[in-house]
């Protein structure tokens, strides 16, 4: 963690244990983690879920779009999956949300996710990686 609200994990050592295609393992890990974060995001208007996005290479520093609404998370997950599976094994994969209140949601502002979304998912990271490395078994 370099700054508050920033997480970075090197998946190489886990992918080596996979005895398979590192790219596929990393894609599975990224998508599973991203889905968990998106689905754990508290829902009032659906804007917080809708503003999760995947960036390749560098974290996206874009303005949030308050017109986006995705209460179920299906649009955000679909867009994340498309980006993750289009990744060419070059550069980092980032899950970003630039809403001004996403930090407050992460740090307990909502009773729906008092432990946050990202922090809870990161606590499950070993399970996510082991599942991806074993082919989802």
Cα-based distances in Å from 132 to 23, 84, 92, 93: 11, 14, 18, 16
Q: What is the pTM of this model?
A: 0.85
* Residue indicated by tokens 């005895």: 19
54-87 residue pLDDT tens: 999 999 878 888 899 999 999 999 999 999 999 9
CA distance 62 to 68: 14
For 107-124, write each residue's pLDDT tens digit: 999 999 999 999 999 999
- For the chain, give every domain's residue range: 17-130
Return the SS3 of 93. Answer: strand
């Amino acid at each position: 963690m370099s700054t508050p609200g920033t997480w970075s994990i090197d998946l190489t050592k886990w992918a080596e244990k996979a005895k398979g295609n590192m790219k596929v393992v990393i894609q599975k890990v990224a998508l599973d983690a991203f889905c968990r974060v998106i689905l754990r995001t508290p829902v009032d208007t659906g804007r917080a879920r809708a503003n999760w996005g995947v960036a390749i290479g560098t974290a996206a520093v874009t303005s949030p779009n308050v017109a986006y609404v995705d209460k179920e998370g299906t649009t955000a997950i679909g867009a994340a999956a498309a980006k993750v599976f289009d990744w060419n094994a070059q550069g980092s994969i980032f899950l970003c949300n630039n809403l001004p209140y996403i930090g407050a949601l992460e740090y307990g502002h909502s009773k729906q996710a008092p432990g946050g979304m990202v922090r809870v998912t990161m606590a499950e990271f070993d399970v996510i990686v082991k599942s991806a490395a074993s082919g989802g078994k």
